[in-house]
Amino acid sequence: MTDGSPASPRRPIAPPSALGDPARLRALADTGLDAAPDEAFDRFARLVSDLLDVPVALVSLVSADRQFFPGAVGLPEPWSQRRQTPLSHSFCQHVVDIEVPMVLPDARLYPRVRNNLAIDDLGVVAYAGMPLTDLSGRVLGSLCAIDSKPRAWTAAQLRTLADLAAACSSELRLRIALDGAQEARRRVVQAHERLELLAGVSETLAGTLDVGVALRRLAATMVPLLADWCLLTLIGPTGLPREVVSVHRDPARAADVDRFGELLRTGLGPDSIVRAVLRTGQPRLGSVASLTDVERGTIHPEMVSIAGRLGIASYLSVPVRGVGGTVLGAITLVNDGHRQQFDDRDLLTAVDIGRRAGQAVGNSSMYGEQRHVAEVLQHSMLPRLPVVAELELAARYQPAADRVEVGGDWYDAFVQPDGDVIAAIGDVAGHDIEAAATMGQLRNLVRGNAFGRPDAVGSLMSDLDGAIRGLRLPIAATATLVRICPQRAGAHEVTWSNAGHPPALVVRVGGAVEVLAATPEPLLGLARPTRRSSHSTSLATGDTLLLYTDGLIERRDRSIDDGLAELMSRLAGTHTLPLGDLCDLLLASIRHREDDTALLAVRAR
């Protein structure tokens, strides 16, 4: 078809309205093509150039604001490199608009295009363009032949161009179909990713019984896989947020998202989406959202400006439900404008995550209560240290991480009628109520057996062993028993006996560390009677005796000897530390608490 409109004065030509048709633009996007060479479409351009004997041939696809060339021959620079032009340089936009071929022997004579900048900048004078269509007949662009001088197009040339345009359209339709198949595959991949996400959530929540740790790990699991940023909210007895964990995919936004989470505790208004979910227990989905939603739901103006920096284009919020359906909190996920909007599939995934999170929070709360009871029981069984003028005593007990059982670690210290101090430490096998009860029996046996008796500690340890066997107590334990004879002037005499326990250490005044080593002797409670031995040393003023259980030095990934060497290295030069600070330093040095730890430190004055 030839546009044979008469000439008219030069005036700007507005872009055709058909260019912005959403369905046409979706089809154009589905081709997957852009301003980059594509071999198949370059071949079509070469065929047009060769068969019609033209210097320039283009496969031109037209969007709402530009045209781009996946196939091109003969374009001058810089257009050859750019592979696109603005619509101010486009003839092909008119083929899209009129939806039929446009054939111009001399473009300078036609009002529709004579003001087009392509005439001067690209040398377009003669133009013949055939529509390129999708399966629904929507025109996506043009296969065009261009000459830099006037030209009378022959019928044979136009038939050839039309045939090539039909073949080129078939290639475009194939690309669209392939994109549809890829979209289907993408959905399958997304479904698989969602299953993996849910499995990962379960694993993440099962990995700890600490509520705060569980929430932070859950947030890190969902961002950025499921959302750009998220808020995990737990409510207190009043029904208002008491704990908020907030995470953004961009580390540079950490301060903003943390501040938003902080304000959320007190800044939610009556129309807040999060409060509605907490109140009703019903999920909410906002496929399209804006700062207006934030402004409507908050009473703190700063939250709106922060949300603007974080980005909000869609959101969803789901309840975290505990046993019996009780709402414990909410999970709120937010995407900005660069990400796909949330849909019903996302909502179902989030609801499932909320259910799993509720189970984990419930388990963590139950664990916290049980752990509190266990720790109170354990500490109630530990003694109060005596006050002795010539000695300073300090002790610590720390249970293993993530454990609700009470353990068998114990320590004791008491003053004899003659002024001597008996110090003891031990570890009963097991980590349960039975082990704790056994530990209590053993500690009482130590006191009953040793109090008021001037015997050597080796003899006291032998008698203790005999009492365990004679009373048929099911005890297997390590222990160290120490007698300290305080002196008002000079060194304090120290004697000790060790039944299979880690060796005591002495930190001397100059900072050197000494191991109170001796030939190893069996644990208490073994069937065969064993004569226990006594060993002696002395404590000068300022020297520190350290008794401890194996939780301080034992790890699965190293030997006890290595652990003892590391402890001695840590103790070197600590003679000037206050005794309590020294104990705290030693407990803080335990990187992974795999076992209970008890410490008893005695410093000579």
Distance of alpha carbon 14 from alpha carbon 156, whole angstroms: 33
249 Cβ neighbours under 8 A, 6+ residues apart: 223, 224, 227, 228, 229
Q: Please answer whether residues 445 and 464 qualify as being in contact, where contact means their C-beta atoms are separated by less than 8 angstroms.
A: yes
In whole angstroms, what separates CA 562 from the centre of its chain?
34
Asked if residue 338 and residue 290 are part of one domain, the reply reads: yes
The residue from 345, 371, 397 where one domain ends is 371
Peptide bond into 224 cis (omega under 30): yes
Distance of alpha carbon 271 from alpha carbon 122, whole angstroms: 58
Asked if residue 545 and residue 434 are part of one domain, the reply reads: yes
pLDDT averaged per 10 residues, the chain (length 605): 40 57 89 93 96 97 94 94 94 95 96 94 96 95 97 96 95 86 62 62 63 81 90 86 92 95 92 93 91 93 95 94 86 90 87 84 60 58 87 89 62 94 88 67 88 94 90 87 86 94 95 92 83 94 95 85 92 93 91 80 95
What's 81's domain CATH number?
3.30.450.40
Among the listed residues 169, 167, 153, the one whose alpha carbon sits nearest the alpha carbon of residue 47: 167
Asked if residue 286 and residue 154 are part of one domain, the reply reads: no
Distance of alpha carbon 45 from alpha carbon 56, whole angstroms: 8
What's 417's domain CATH number?
3.60.40.10
Q: Tell me the two tokens of residue 322.
A: 């505990």
What kind and span of H or E run contains 121?
A: helix 118-121
Say what the pLDDT of residue 554 is.
87
Q: Look up tokens 């114990």; give the residue.
A: 410
Asked if residue 560 and residue 423 are part of one domain, the reply reads: yes
Alpha-carbon torsion (525, 528, 529, 532), positive or negative: negative
Q: How far is CA 438 from CA 171, 406, 443, 473, 479, in A?
A: 83, 11, 9, 8, 13
Residue 11 lies in a domain: no
Residue 9 lies in a domain: no
For the chain, helix, strand, coil in percent to 5 are: 40, 25, 35
The residue from 352, 371, 390 where one domain ends is 371
Say what the pLDDT of residue 203 is.
65
> Could you write out the DSSP letters of every residue in 406-466?
--SEEEEEEE-TTS-EEEEEEEES-SSHHHHHHHHHHHHHHHHHHTT----HHHHHHHHHH
Asked if residue 505 and residue 452 are part of one domain, the reply reads: yes
Asked if residue 172 and residue 32 are part of one domain, the reply reads: yes
Strand, coil or helix: 338: coil
Asked if residue 146 and residue 230 are part of one domain, the reply reads: no
Residue 7 lies in a domain: no
Backbone angles phi, psi at 411, to 5 degrees: -145, 165
Say what the pLDDT of residue 374 is.
56
Say what the pLDDT of residue 358 is.
83
Q: Please answer whether residues 440 and 381 qualify as being in contact, where contact means their C-beta atoms are separated by less than 8 angstroms.
A: yes
Domain that holds residue 387: 381-604
Residue 1 lies in a domain: no
Among the listed residues 132, 135, 133, 107, the one whose alpha carbon sits nearest the alpha carbon of residue 122: 107
Q: Which residues of 119-144 are buried (b: 16+ CB within 10 A; e: fewer)?
A: beebbbbbbbbbbbbbeeebbbbbbb
Residue 253 lies in a domain: yes
Asked if residue 246 and residue 175 are part of one domain, the reply reads: no
Distance of alpha carbon 539 from alpha carbon 523, whole angstroms: 27
Domain count, the chain: 3
Strand, coil or helix: 580: helix
Please state the length of the chain.
605
What is the separation, in whole angstroms, between the first and last Cα of the chain? 111
Residue 441 lies in a domain: yes
HEC per residue, 145-202: EEECCCCCCCHHHHHHHHHHHHHHHHHHHHHHHHHHHHHHHHHHHHHHHHHHHHHHHH
Q: Which residues pair with 493 in a beta bridge?
A: 485, 538
Asked if residue 426 and residue 399 are part of one domain, the reply reads: yes
Say what the pLDDT of residue 81 is.
93
The residue from 349, 371, 393 where one domain ends is 371
Among the listed residues 89, 93, 86, the one whose alpha carbon sits nearest the alpha carbon of residue 123: 89
Asked if residue 385 and residue 363 are part of one domain, the reply reads: no
Asked if residue 365 and residue 233 are part of one domain, the reply reads: yes
Asked if residue 453 and residue 586 are part of one domain, the reply reads: yes
